[in-house]
């Protein structure tokens, strides 16, 4: 299966914590990865983002889907 | 600044591509990372997720925020 | 009220399960629907998406809003 | 591959429209589906959501991932 | 119509900028508002969030739906 | 730190409610704000959105990140 999501990172589950409705899954990614972020052109300009800049990618944990073979 | 988002990955921008409204930013993460995913308990059970499982974390690129010092 | 979200599907609630903070609501959609997905042009090209292709639309359950008259 | 996302709807692409960075993909779902929505317990109470209620599921098109075999 | 989304802010459009697929809409909210954020309990503990704390609510612009009467 | 998210609203926490995995944080925003929403050009046209229109910005509470100095 090919998937439109640009970010698919393989890893091993380190921890699973389960609540009534929601659960937390911690996954250790095995190798450095290339992250694709789609942001506004306005932000690229305001932050003056360009090749070589050191930045952080911030991802809320509710946005992550987990897949298993 | 401390941030509630559990996933903050540092890296270097490899590429910026700009459209009229939206832009694509590719960031090379420098070291393996621990990803926290919040999913349903129903999914943990249906996929039988447990410590040690090899899984993928899937993240749509529109969900990623970029921060710069 | 008109809403910018392109996907509004009518149905009947089949099940509600309630936790301390979050709840799960299962809704039976009554008729086949047209789903609009906004993805990257890069993904359209990599997956070679075109009219007539059989595909799946994947939606994390935390992304869905419920409305009631 | 099993996926934690509770909503995976199969269909046929009716239309693809491509911009510089983002693209719109319209998918005709072939059969009625069960949608799982995770919302706050506070909302379940304020909207008094219960089995049998007629409701709408609202999904912003940027939240949808497309997969192809 | 009642909606499960806890954050509905009324305002006036100040600016609309249109691209091929995506558009930017800037809305001036007319009065201070109460924002409800659902985050992990882990984050509440790590940031030691409690009543009276000065904090920022961060929302990516792709996550916002616009409604009009 | 500069952040690509176009919406950063300062306020005071009014209430924190904690569950096993997820928590609800209510934040009183102190002054009216300008919200930037990225929606489809198709929606701008269908809703005929233009300067001066009275609209609502709808944000699901799971989409909000909280930051603290």
Contact assessment for residue E28 and residue F2, using Cβ atoms and an 8 Å cutoff: no
Does the pLDDT value for residue C18 go beyond 90?
Answer: yes
Q: Write down which chains contact chain A via at least 3 CB pairs under 8 A.
A: B, C, D, E, F
**Tokens, residue C67:** 């409305």
Segment E43-54, tens digit of pLDDT:
999 999 999 999
Domain residues for the domain of F48 are 11-63
Quote the pLDDT of residue E20. Answer: 97
- Residue D28 belongs to some domain of the structure: yes
**Tokens, residue C18:** 């309630």
In angstroms, the separation between the Cα of residue E46 and the nearest Cα of chain F is: 11
- Residue A6 belongs to some domain of the structure: no
Query: Can you tell me the mean pLDDT for C12-36?
Result: 96
Query: Can you tell me the mean pLDDT for A1-22?
Result: 97
Contacts of D27 (CB under 8 A, 6+ apart): C34, C35, C36, C37, C55, C57, D9, D11, D12, D13, D14, D66
- Residue D53 belongs to some domain of the structure: yes
Q: pLDDT over 70 for what percent of chain C? A: 100
In angstroms, the separation between the Cα of residue B49 and the nearest Cα of chain A is: 8
- Residue D57 belongs to some domain of the structure: yes
Does the pLDDT value for residue D31 go beyond 90?
Answer: no
Interface residues on D facing E, Cβ-Cβ cutoff 8 A: 17-24, 37, 39-40, 42-44, 46-47, 49, 58, 60, 62
Does the pLDDT value for residue F32 go beyond 90?
Answer: no
Q: Write down which chains contact chain B via at least 3 CB pairs under 8 A.
A: A, C, D, E, F
- Residue B15 belongs to some domain of the structure: yes
Residues of chain D contacting F62 with CB distance shorter than 8 Å: 38
Does the pLDDT value for residue C28 go beyond 90?
Answer: yes
- Band (pLDDT 50/70/90 cuts) for residue C30 is confident
- Residue B36 belongs to some domain of the structure: yes
Residues of chain D contacting B22 with CB distance shorter than 8 Å: 21-22
Quote the pLDDT of residue A14. Answer: 98
Computed over its alpha carbons, how large is the radius of gyration of chain B? 15
Quote the pLDDT of residue A40. Answer: 98
- Band (pLDDT 50/70/90 cuts) for residue B41 is very high
Quote the pLDDT of residue A13. Answer: 98
Residues of chain A contacting E61 with CB distance shorter than 8 Å: 40
**F19 → closest Cβ in C2, C3, C21:** C21
Residues of chain E contacting F12 with CB distance shorter than 8 Å: 52-55
Does the pLDDT value for residue C31 go beyond 90?
Answer: no
Segment C36-67, tens digit of pLDDT:
999 999 999 999 999 999 999 999 999 999 99
The residue assigned the tokens 């979200």 is: C5
Cβ C42–B24 below 8 Å, yes or no? yes
If you average pLDDT over every residue of chain D, what do you get? 97
Quote the pLDDT of residue A31. Answer: 86
Angle, CA D68 vertex, CA A41 and CA D34 arms, to 5°: 95
In angstroms, the separation between the Cα of residue C46 and the nearest Cα of chain A is: 8
Segment E11-42, tens digit of pLDDT:
999 999 999 999 999 999 988 899 999 999 99
- Band (pLDDT 50/70/90 cuts) for residue D12 is very high
Phi, psi of E47 (to 5 degrees): -90, -5
Segment B51-65, tens digit of pLDDT:
999 999 999 999 999
Contact assessment for residue E69 and residue C1, using Cβ atoms and an 8 Å cutoff: yes
Q: Greater confidence, B30 or B37? A: B37
Quote the pLDDT of residue C41. Answer: 98
pTM, to two decimals = 0.97
Does the pLDDT value for residue B30 go beyond 90?
Answer: no
Q: How many CB atoms lie within 10 A of CB D12?
A: 14
- Residue E30 belongs to some domain of the structure: yes
- Residue F6 belongs to some domain of the structure: no
ipTM given for this complex: 0.97
Number of domains in chain A: 1
Segment D2-11, tens digit of pLDDT:
999 999 999 9
């Amino acid at each position: 299966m090919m998937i439109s999501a640009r970010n698919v990172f393989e890893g091993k589950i380190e921890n699973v914590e389960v609540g009534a409705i929601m659960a937390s899954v911690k996954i250790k990614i095995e190798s450095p990865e290339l992250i694709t972020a789609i942001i506004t052109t306005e932000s690229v300009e305001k932050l003056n983002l360009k090749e070589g800049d050191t930045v952080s990618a911030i991802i809320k944990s509710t946005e992550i889907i987990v897949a298993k073979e």
